[in-house]
């Protein structure tokens, strides 16, 4: 039904009645009394209703077969101290205990929030029909702050949002609380997301005025029982714009006082406010550069204001300028590396996964592993600015996983990006991860039904950055659609192959930023108009009659020198750089021979064609699924897959015809000539 898309991974579709789960729902004990405990009971009820058309029936502890209870003396009899100590204040333990003919399931934690997470996890097992492992589940998040970033403006437009308008209805807030805010909180808590920045990094200082703080506080009240902290973006020039000061210089005492007062005012409205996310000195945003101050001086100004209240600053590393003569890929590292260790302890630097900008594939950002004394958080983009917006299906979990599992070699072999952001490698307590949301007012939240999976997988990887994409895809399919085995295995494969497919038909072999100017939808490897060099495709692909690709070795921009020598040496050589990064780091001759034995031009053309072929095959695979899920979602997806296949062809034709002007070579066998 129309509602199915709205329900995300909380479908609670009906499951076989013979399962023993049904009896569990008839005798549940939930101990405690708090809004979070209420949320647990409500969720159990919703699930019982969906699974079996019944209610969740509450019992006293000794009569119940599901016991949801914080750790205490009684629980200590069944759950080991070691387990309890290992889960911290956000984790949970789920254990099945048999005594005689009786089986009881214990869900325990050190906090109500842990109980909520444990309850969601158990409900997911029930929905999927999976057995709990013999020795139970003992889980806790590896990253402390798991945050969504909304690039939502106060007029409800969403920067790089392709799923309608912002779900925050500022006009109706604070008095009207839409059900959607609650469902948003439920969906996030179900995958462990515990923070949200509700406003765009291209920030409007109005959100820090009393009028808006009341609205934000109303949202924070909805999110709180679900363990979600609220954060805001802070525009660096706010003291001028809403404070009537004539400077925003971070070293000016009046500016410092203004921010301290502002922080106090915010915490009066939102006592557990999370802190600020800041984009400064980038793409026209004001920042410390305006006063010849460093990024650290800028960040510390806000950190000092938030410190007394327990707030943090997430300071973005996405700082670059068209005036710099340097390769854009190098600028953030160059700016931040000398500042390592100069940030307050409540500052974390938020770094995009790659050094350019959320391309379909990027090598990891050299700041990971490059800075050691400053905690770094990851910023992934869930919304598909450069990956076909809403209509192109791409399961981004694989892309996230690839970045997280890359070895930086910062402290020898095994120094993965995942270890850096979980604070293990350099011993940081402040750990965080951000995903730029793909959520909007569309009935199914994310425009493309498949893109719900990207929000979902981001949450799963934020909880455990070492989780694998195949499990995530399978879980998502079973929670969202059906347990049907054929459906799940076929579509799981389609999802797992989709990121590479999109890379193939957009930017194979390390090509990047050749999308159409500004909106970034569709191909645009050519020059359209006079605009910033660092926003122009030709700057990135450097196609010439000799070859194609950006030379970032020592003979070029030497961006490679920012990586650990182990990598920079390997990647400096055309024959040992992973082929997926070849044209990212090298300018390569059209007739250079690759590992396939083919010359670059032929390989490039075949990759484009492969992407197109797969997009076409997906239409057929999907057709075979008719009847296995509801018609409405089936048709919606079928129609988008068709658009995707047509546009994959558009990408292939546009790019190959354009590059052919340089290569002057024919299309190899197997590559269709454009009509």
Q: Is 162 in the site for ligand GCW (CB under 6 A)?
A: no
Residue nearest ligand GCW (C-beta atom): 357
Identify residues 459-488 at the interface with ligand GCW (CB under 6 A).
none
Task: Give SS3 for 508.
Answer: helix
Q: Which residues are catalytic?
A: 283, 357, 385
Of 95, 104, 121, 160, the residue at the interface with ligand GCW (CB under 6 A) is 160
Q: How far is the CB of 283 from ligand GCW (least distance, A)?
A: 6
Q: Is 109 in the site for ligand GCW (CB under 6 A)?
A: no
Identify residues 644-663 at the interface with ligand GCW (CB under 6 A).
none
Question: d(Cα 167, Cα 439) in Å, to the nearest integer?
Answer: 8
Q: Pick between residue 173 and residue 201 the one whose CB is nearest to ligand GCW.
A: 201
Of 25, 117, 122, 151, the residue at the interface with ligand GCW (CB under 6 A) is 151
**What is the token pair recorded at 9?**
């991974």
Task: Give SS3 for 377.
Answer: strand
Q: How far is the CB of 175 from ligand GCW (least distance, A)?
A: 30
Q: Is 52 in the site for ligand GCW (CB under 6 A)?
A: no
Q: Pick between residue 151 and residue 273 the one whose CB is nearest to ligand GCW.
A: 151
Q: How far is the CB of 202 from ligand GCW (least distance, A)?
A: 5
Residue 665 CB-density burial (10 A; 0-12 exposed, 13-18 middle, 19+ buried): middle
Q: How far is the CB of 419 from ligand GCW (least distance, A)?
A: 25
Q: How far is the CB of 331 from ligand GCW (least distance, A)?
A: 14
Confirm if 92 and 109 have CB atoms less than 8 A apart.
yes
Q: Is 191 in the site for ligand GCW (CB under 6 A)?
A: no
Q: Is 159 in the site for ligand GCW (CB under 6 A)?
A: yes
Q: How far is the CB of 102 from ligand GCW (least distance, A)?
A: 55
Q: Is 201 in the site for ligand GCW (CB under 6 A)?
A: yes
Q: Pick between residue 231 and residue 667 the one whose CB is nearest to ligand GCW.
A: 231
Question: d(Cα 446, Cα 430) in Å, to the nearest integer?
Answer: 30
Helix (H), strand (E), coil (C) string for 192-244: CCCEEECCCCCCCHHHHCHHHHHHHHHHHHHHHHHCCEEEEECCCCHHHHCCC
Query: Sign (positive/negative) of CA torsion 62, 66, 72, 73?
Result: positive
Q: Pick between residue 159 and residue 178 the one whose CB is nearest to ligand GCW.
A: 159
Helix axes 452-463, 469-480, angle to 10 degrees: 130
Q: Pick between residue 83 and residue 385 the one whose CB is nearest to ligand GCW.
A: 385
Q: Is 202 in the site for ligand GCW (CB under 6 A)?
A: yes
Q: How far is the CB of 39 from ligand GCW (least distance, A)?
A: 32
Q: Pick between residue 127 and residue 199 the one whose CB is nearest to ligand GCW.
A: 199
Q: Is 365 in the site for ligand GCW (CB under 6 A)?
A: no
Q: How far is the CB of 532 from ligand GCW (least distance, A)?
A: 12
In DSSP notation, 148-174 reads: EE--B-TTS-BTT--SSS-S--TTTTT
Other Cβ atoms within 10 Å of 25 Cβ, number:
21
Q: How many residues bind ligand GCW (CB under 6 A)?
A: 11
Long-range contacts of 248-256 (CB under 8 A, 24+ apart): 248/286, 248/290, 248/291, 249/291, 249/293, 250/288, 250/291, 250/293, 250/297, 250/298, 250/300, 250/301, 251/291, 251/293, 251/297, 255/301, 256/301, 256/304, 256/305
In DSSP notation, 579-594 reads: GGGHHHH--EETT-B-
Compute CA 265 distance to the chain's CA centroid, rounded to the nearest angstrom.
Answer: 30
Give the residue ranges of DSSP H helices in 407-521: 417-421, 452-463, 469-480, 485-506
Q: Pick between residue 180 and residue 202 the one whose CB is nearest to ligand GCW.
A: 202
Binding mask 383-422 for ligand GCW (x = CB under 6 A): --x-------------------------------------
Identify residues 294-333 at the interface with ligand GCW (CB under 6 A).
318
Q: Pick between residue 434 and residue 615 the one whose CB is nearest to ligand GCW.
A: 434
Compute CA 159 distance to the chain's CA centroid, rounded to the nearest angstrom.
Answer: 16
Of 358, 368, 481, 651, the residue at the interface with ligand GCW (CB under 6 A) is 358
Q: Is 357 in the site for ligand GCW (CB under 6 A)?
A: yes
* Matching residue, tokens 């609380």: 177
In DSSP notation, 91-149 reads: -EEEEEEEETTEEEEEEEESSHHHHHHHHHHHHHHHHHTPPPPTT-EEE--SSSEEEEE
Confirm if 150 and 437 have CB atoms less than 8 A apart.
yes
Q: Pick between residue 351 and residue 560 the one whose CB is nearest to ligand GCW.
A: 351
Q: How far is the CB of 37 from ligand GCW (least distance, A)?
A: 38
- Positions touching ligand GCW (CB under 6 A) are 151, 159-160, 201-202, 279, 283, 318, 357-358, 385
């Amino acid at each position: 039904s129309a509602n199915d898309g709205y329900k995300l991974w909380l479908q609670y579709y009906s499951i076989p009645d013979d399962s023993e789960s049904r009896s569990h729902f008839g005798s549940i004990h939930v101990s405690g009394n708090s809004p979070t405990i209420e949320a647990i009971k409500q969720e159990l009820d919703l699930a019982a209703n969906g699974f079996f058309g019944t209610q969740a029936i509450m019992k006293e502890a000794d009569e119940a077969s599901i016991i949801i209870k914080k750790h205490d003396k009684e629980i200590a009899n069944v759950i080991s101290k070691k387990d309890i100590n290992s889960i911290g204040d956000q984790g949970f333990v789920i254990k099945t205990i048999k005594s005689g003919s009786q089986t009881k399931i214990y869900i325990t934690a050190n906090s109500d929030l842990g109980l909520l997470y444990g309850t969601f996890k158990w409900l997911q097992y029930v929905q999927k029909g999976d057995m709990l492992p013999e020795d139970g589940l003992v889980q806790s998040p590896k990253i402390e702050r798991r945050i969504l970033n909304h690039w939502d403006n106060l007029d409800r437009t969403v920067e790089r949002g392709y799923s309608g308008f912002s779900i925050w209805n500022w006009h109706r807030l604070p008095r009207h609380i839409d059900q959607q805010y609650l469902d948003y909180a439920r969906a996030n808590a179900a995958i462990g997301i515990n923070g949200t920045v509700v406003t765009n990094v291209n920030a409007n200082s109005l959100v820090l005025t009393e009028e808006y703080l009341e609205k934000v506080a109303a949202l924070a009240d909805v999110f709180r029982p679900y363990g979600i902290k609220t954060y805001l973006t802070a525009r660096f020039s706010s003291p001028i714009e809403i404070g009537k000061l004539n400077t925003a210089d971070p070293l000016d005492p009046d500016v410092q006082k203004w921010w301290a007062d502002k922080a106090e005012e915010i915490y009066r409205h939102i006592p557990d406010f999370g802190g600020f996310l800041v984009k400064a000195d980038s793409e026209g945003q004001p920042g410390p550069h305006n006063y010849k101050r460093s990024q650290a001086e800028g960040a510390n100004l806000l950190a000092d204001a938030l410190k007394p209240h327990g707030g943090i600053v997430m300071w973005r590393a996405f700082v670059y300028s068209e005036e710099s003569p340097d390769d854009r890929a190098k600028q953030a590292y160059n700016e931040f590396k000398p500042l390592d260790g100069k940030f307050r302890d409540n500052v974390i630097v938020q770094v995009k996964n790659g050094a350019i900008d959320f391309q379909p594939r990027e090598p990891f950002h050299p700041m990971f592993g490059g800075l050691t004394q400053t905690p770094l958080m990851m910023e992934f983009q869930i919304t598909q600015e450069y990956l076909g917006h809403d209509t192109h299906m791409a399961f981004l979990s694989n892309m996230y996983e690839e970045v997280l599992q890359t070895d930086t070699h910062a402290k020898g072999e095994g120094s993965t990006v995942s270890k850096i952001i979980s604070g293990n490698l350099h011993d940081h307590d402040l750990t965080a991860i951000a995903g730029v949301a793909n959520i909007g007012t569309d009935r199914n939240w994310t425009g493309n039904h498949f893109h719900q999976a990207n929000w979902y997988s981001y949450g799963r990887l934020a909880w455990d950055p070492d989780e694998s994409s195949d499990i995530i895809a399978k879980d998502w399919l079973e929670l969202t659609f059906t347990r049907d085995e054929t459906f799940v295995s076929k579509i799981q494969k389609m999802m797992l192959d989709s990121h590479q497919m999109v890379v193939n038909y957009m930017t194979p072999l390390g090509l990047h930023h050749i999308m159409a100017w500004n909106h970034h939808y569709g191909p645009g490897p050519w020059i359209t108009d006079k605009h910033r060099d660092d926003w122009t495709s030709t700057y990135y692909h450097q196609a010439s009659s000799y070859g194609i690709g950006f030379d970032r070795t020592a003979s070029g921009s030497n961006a490679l020198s920012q990586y650990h020598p182990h990598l920079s040496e390997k990647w400096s050589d055309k024959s040992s750089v992973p082929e997926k990064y070849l044209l990212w780091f090298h300018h390569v001759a059209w007739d250079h021979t690759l590992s396939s034995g083919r010359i670059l031009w032929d390989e490039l053309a075949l990759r484009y064609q492969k992407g197109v072929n797969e997009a076409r095959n997906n239409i057929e695979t999907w057709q075979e699924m008719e009847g296995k899920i509801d018609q409405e979602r089936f048709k919606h997806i079928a129609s988008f897959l068709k658009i995707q296949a047509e546009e994959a062809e558009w990408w292939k034709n546009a790019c190959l015809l354009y590059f052919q002007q340089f290569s002057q070579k024919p299309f190899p066998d197997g590559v269709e000539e454009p009509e």
